[in-house]
Chain A
């Protein structure tokens, strides 16, 4: 199950074998009709052909194709191609000598080096008030994903040590080959029950989950309708799926409906066959904290007969009364969502990701989810930590209300801050803010000319200002982070923001104080700029 490529090492011996096979088949056929009951089979084949001739043809083609791939050398060059130029050996040697490749990686620019050096390193455990290696000082942490304050939870740590003493650390194998440990199955069951889904499957890294779930279902020729603002993992998943994509405007369900209608019109016009169709979006968007209107999207998906892949990496474990995510917040049964993807790393402060759905959907991924099949399962103690976190959330709804209260406190301060725009839904545990006015053109005129999306902004200039704010806040005891992206590789360039990750582990007072520091830093930096 590891290397899915059929090799061609046997191809040379195959030809006589196939000849022999053909011969024995004819022999077999004559023999076949002498077997009692053979007529029934023959009739079946015929009737199957009658019912669905296309299918028989398809199968024959498949078999031929399989044989062809087996026989064909995968390494053949396109020597016959019309663009092929014939060279002599000498000429090739010369060309080889002349060729100079680019360096494997371009060295970092000065700005990138500064960025790398500016990453805060935490000494000791992470949490609401970690100590930094650089200064040895304690800071208030508004950067790390510790939404429900589970980092450093003593009970979870104890359970993790117990698990370590029973299971060791690594699983030393992919799930298919003795890497499925009972605690994995327990966590899968816990997640499924927590959400009210039929089943769930556990991946060993949150980020790699959705980019594996999408190509497991969406294939070439299928249709994906996706939000423009989806995170990078989804974008990569869509790219890997090779499906036909249509983008709708960020979190705009009117635009979604237009797209759905357009697809339908297209299909009617082309009279194409029924293909699989998917809507892909996020619960709470990682890049700006917007929240999707789940009931409305479910209505649309049912109306137009799409399947929904919903990425709840941010919303799972952070919204709803007990942190079950959007389904709890909107009171929608999880069974309405075909593939519900979430993160064990973010919401449950452990590691890994999951996809919940029907048994069929989940079992399909156990064979077709590439990063599930081809990767070792997650360490047992991390799975147990995830299970314990779910138990904690179930039993302690006050954590979620504390988180919401902190979010409100933070937003209340930031809303009164001049020069910034707060993005996203008011319940979102991540709060992004960008600069309000377009930065002065003098900062970096070159990049101002690249409009992305509807508004135009100067990425480099804004990033520099935001970075100053981050550093100023850090000097005053609050750890922030800019939202980091692979610039120029995101499908739609996001506007630079600072991303605050709220936690329930701080008191309301502490949040207000920290927000005050952020506010002061913003004011200081912006006034310096003007």
Chain B
């Protein structure tokens, strides 16, 4: 709370090269430290490092960025050009600002569960008591101040308070605690939320600079832009790109199919691409059939009511996403929650509910559906799938996994938690996921047995009422998915080389699902439309594999690095979501502002109550395959310095200096498993 949101007078938004004379002392300290850090990293990068392996070979180099993707800025921040310039034989197919160039093959890893040496999630570490107390006190003070301001405001500044008071016979539009919380607590750090951007939310992103002169009531845009390192978007595999094979495919599809399909799936809005994409998704996740919906949130909120209803029970992890809760509430089924990822608690609950039956009547439940997420978006925790599958065999419930964050991001083949644990996806009843994250698209899918999916096509709300997914989005899904899978060369001259050429196929919503012997396998050439031609490095799946392995490395590196720096982090050490605990609400906004004020500005996501429990405010990093190892170094150095200033390092584990961490990164990442197992 000490630091007011920045105004133009403070140097936060002024040109970074100016001396920070007017800023608070911490700022100049940070700045100075930053300069040192930068000097160091330049030294480091200029020393010759053996980089001989070409990461990707492609005829046309896109290293030189076009005007669209690069602001006219001097490369002070190290964001536009790689620290290590590529050698002549290294050819990159991506724009560095969107997807970082990294040719070092040692910065790669495989995301896979090792049953012999399982990696355990870290024990949840508690901060010292004084941190908890000051955190509670902060909230107390904030609440008191809020009430004082409300008290005077409602009397002397009525016009700003009409919506929270009843007036002229209308009840207050929003008067409850939520509203108080938003106005009096969240508004103080609104500058850390909803920051508008422009361009691609890739490895870097361009933010529109803004400031507020009225305590975040309104934001004033300066018209200037800043390129920042983006470790916040759900861009796990780095497919948020305006250039490259996927974008080319999307452009082609816009020309061929236009923007819209004009209607719901059942009422004149089904195009040929829907069926093709659904068959591909089913192949990708290893299910019999799949159904696509134009919004990830709506996939949960409109299909869950079609799965369960009165007399059914939903058992839901307590930290499940709002979309799941919306769906369950619409369904009319009973809900019970179990403690986050606590399998013992779940089993007890199962024994309880099955033996008791429905409340009062004790009739047996019609069915029980357990809904869990693959990877939890606020905690970075991974569902204990092997155990749940064991329980499922015994207790006969149905299992629904929301793979919004895990699909693409986990597993040696990017096929999500099942792939990570080496579990047959058909052991799960319903796999749901979204395309907004790893695939750089929008919308969601739900996959399962054909009878089930067919039923959902007709009996889910989306089919009859919701707009269907637009062709460009479908194309992005197909192109990114095919480049993760790799496309198998056509075996024989198959008759189904493209949909356009099969006018004789029956008029159904989907193409016949081609049963595969083994999963995960590459996409058959017949599974993508013939006009969708991917460049060779995407077509053969080599880039997809590289992306998966870069993501795995980056995730492990950031987790391990932050722990070694002494921060309390949550979540699975392999998860691309890395929450760093901050606790104090005031420090949260400071953290975000200080990250942005660095010479290599970084944007982060900070979250607090009500998204998290009151005390465990946190910053959440989302690692991407688009980040280079140097980007993670930059983040670690920034956290190191800010962590010292804000007193955030409360972990009891072994600590390393940040230089040591950066130098021994590969060792650190490879050691994750070994150290954990020991």
User: B residues 245-270 with Cβ under 8 Å of A?
Assistant: 246-247, 250-251, 254-270
A-B contact pairs, 25 of them (CB 8 A): A2-B378, A83-B359, A92-B354, A95-B354, A96-B394, A96-B396, A99-B354, A101-B365, A101-B397, A104-B448, A121-B509, A144-B261, A145-B262, A168-B200, A168-B240, A177-B232, A181-B198, A205-B298, A206-B467, A343-B467, A350-B259, A364-B179, A479-B268, A481-B267, A501-B268
Task: Please give me the 7 A-B residue pairs with the lowest Cβ-Cβ distance, nearest first.
Answer: A134-B507, A143-B268, A207-B466, A136-B503, A376-B436, A205-B295, A375-B297
Give chain B nearest CB distance to A8 CB in angstroms.
7
Contact among B172, B195, B442, B451 with A105 in the assembled complex (CB-CB below 8 Å): B451
Q: Are A100 and B296 in contact (CB under 8 A)?
A: no
List residues of chain A with CB within 8 A of the CB of B3: none
Question: Binary interface profile of A, 27-55, with partner B (CB < 8 Å = 1, else 0)?
Answer: 00000000000000100100010000000
Instruction: Return B394 CB to nearest CB of chain A, in Å.
Output: 7
Contact A275/B321 with A120-B270, A126-B261 known, Cβ cut-off 8 Å = no
* Bound CA span A348–B255, Å: 18
A194 within 8 A of B: no
- Shortest beta-carbon distance from B70 to chain A in Å: 12
Instruction: A375 to B300: give the CA distance in the assembly, Å.
Output: 11
Which residues of chain B have C-beta atoms less than 8 A from A161's C-beta? 251, 254-255
* Contact, CB under 8 Å: B258 / A127: yes
Output the least CB separation between B195 and chain A (Å).
6
* A104 vs B369: C-alpha distance when bound (angstroms): 9
Task: Let me know if A68 is at the binding interface, CB within 8 A.
Answer: no
Chain B 356-402 interface residues, beta-carbon cutoff 8 Å to A:
356, 359-360, 362, 364-369, 376-378, 394-398
- Assess the B339–A169 pair: CB atoms within 8 A: no
Does B279 sit within 8 A of A, measured CB to CB? no
Which of B201-209, B486-494, B627-635 lies at the interface? B201-209
User: Does B345 touch A at the CB level, under 8 Å?
Assistant: yes
A358 to B384, CA, bound (A): 46
A471 to chain B, nearest CB (A): 11
Which residues of the other chain, A, contact B364 by a CB distance below 8 angstroms? 99
By the criterion CB–CB under 8 Å, are A486 and B459 in contact?
A: yes
The residues of A that contact B116 with a CB separation of less than 8 Å are none
Judging by beta carbons under 8 Å apart, are B163 and A360 in contact?
Answer: yes
Given contacts A108-B455, A360-B163, 17 further A-B contacts (CB under 8 A): A3-B321, A92-B351, A92-B354, A95-B354, A100-B396, A102-B367, A113-B454, A119-B266, A120-B507, A121-B274, A122-B272, A134-B505, A160-B254, A168-B241, A205-B295, A345-B260, A379-B473
Verify if B567 is at the interface (C-beta below 8 Å from A): no
Contacts of A116 in B (CB 8 A): 454, 457-458, 508-509
Residue among A59, A85, A104, A136 making CB contact with B307, cutoff 8 Å = A104
> Out of A160, A170, A350, which one reaches B441, CB within 8 Å?
A170
**CB <8 Å contact, B319 and A7:** yes
Q: How far is the CA of A499 from the CA of B465 in the complex (A)?
A: 13
Q: Are B322 and A2 in contact (CB under 8 A)?
A: yes
A520 an interface residue at 8 Å Cβ cutoff? no
Which candidate, B27-35, B606-614, B657-665, B666-674, is the interface stretch facing chain A? B606-614
Residues of B within 8 A of A182 (CB): 196-198, 208
Q: Which of A365-387 contact B (CB under 8 A)?
A: 366-368, 370-371, 373-376, 378-379, 381-382, 385
Contact check, A305 vs B170: say whether CB atoms are below 8 A apart: yes
CB within 8 Å of B: which A73-90 residues: 73-75, 77-79, 83-85, 87
Question: Once bound together, how far apart are the Cα atoms of A382 and B470, in whole Å?
Answer: 9
Q: Which residue from B198, B295, B356, B377 sits with its C-beta under 8 Å from A375?
A: B295
A486→B461 contact, CB < 8 A: yes
**Complex interface: chain A residues within 8 A of B599 (CB):** none
Looking at the assembled complex, report how far the CB atom of B411 sits from the nearest CB atom of chain A, in whole angstroms. 20
| Identity of the chain A residue whose Cβ is nearest the Cβ of B127 in the assembled complex | A13
Any chain A CB within 8 A of the CB of B147?
yes
Q: B residues within 8 A CB of A103?
A: 367
Which residues from 215 to 273 on chain A have a C-beta closer than 8 Å to any C-beta of chain B? 217, 219, 222, 231-233, 236, 239-240
Question: Are A170 and B435 touching (Cβ within 8 A)?
Answer: yes
The reply to whether A170 and B240 form a contact with Cβ atoms under 8 Å apart is yes
Q: Is B355 an interface residue (CB 8 A)?
A: yes
A449 contacts B by Cβ under 8 Å: no
| In the complex, chain B residues whose CB is within 8 Å of the CB of A404 | none
Contacts of B265 in A (CB 8 A): 119
Q: A146 to chain B: closest CB distance in Å?
A: 5
If A74-B337, A117-B507, A157-B254 touch, whether A275 touches B171 (CB-CB below 8 Å) is yes
> What A residues does B6 contact at CB under 8 A?
none
Q: Which residues of A contact B396 (CB under 8 A)?
A: 96, 99-101
Least Cβ distance of A526 to chain B in Å?
Answer: 23
Expressed in whole angstroms, the minimum distance between the Cβ of A158 and any Cβ of chain B is: 9
User: When the two chains form their complex, are residues A24 and B473 in contact, meaning their CB atoms are under 8 A apart?
Assistant: no
Measured in the bound complex, the distance between the Cα atoms of B472 and A151 in whole Å is 13
One of B173, B356, B394, B397 near A364 (C-beta < 8 A): B173
B506 touches A126 (CB 8 A): no
Which residue of B151, B257, B295 contacts A125 across the interface (Cβ within 8 Å)?
B257
Cross-chain contact B198 with A133 (CB below 8 angstroms):
no
Across the interface, name the chain B residue whose C-beta is closest to A1: B611
In contact, B260 and A126 (Cβ under 8 angstroms): yes
B471's nearest neighbour on chain A, judged by CB, is A125
Beta-carbon contact of B262 and A349 below 8 Å: yes
- A367 to B185: give the CA distance in the assembly, Å: 13
Q: How far is the CA of A186 from the CA of B151 in the complex (A)?
A: 37
Q: Using known A-B contacts A2-B322, A6-B609, determine if residue A77 contacts B349 with beta carbons closer than 8 Å.
A: yes
Which residues from B are CB-within-8-Å of A95? 354-355
Q: Judging by beta carbons under 8 Å apart, are B441 and A173 in contact?
A: no
Q: Is the CB of A2 within 8 A of B151?
A: no
A327 within 8 A of B: no
Chain B: CB-nearest residue to A118: B507
Q: Which of B124, B126, B360 is close to A83, meaning CB atoms less than 8 Å apart?
A: B360
Q: Is A171 an interface residue (CB 8 A)?
A: yes
Segment touching A, from B37-45, B129-137, B532-540, B544-552: B129-137
B640 CB within 8 Å of chain A: no
Rounded to whole angstroms, the CA-CA distance of A157 and B261 in the bound complex is: 13
Chain B residues numbered 414-468 whose CB sits less than 8 Å from any CB in chain A: 429-430, 434-437, 439-442, 448, 451-452, 454-459, 461-467
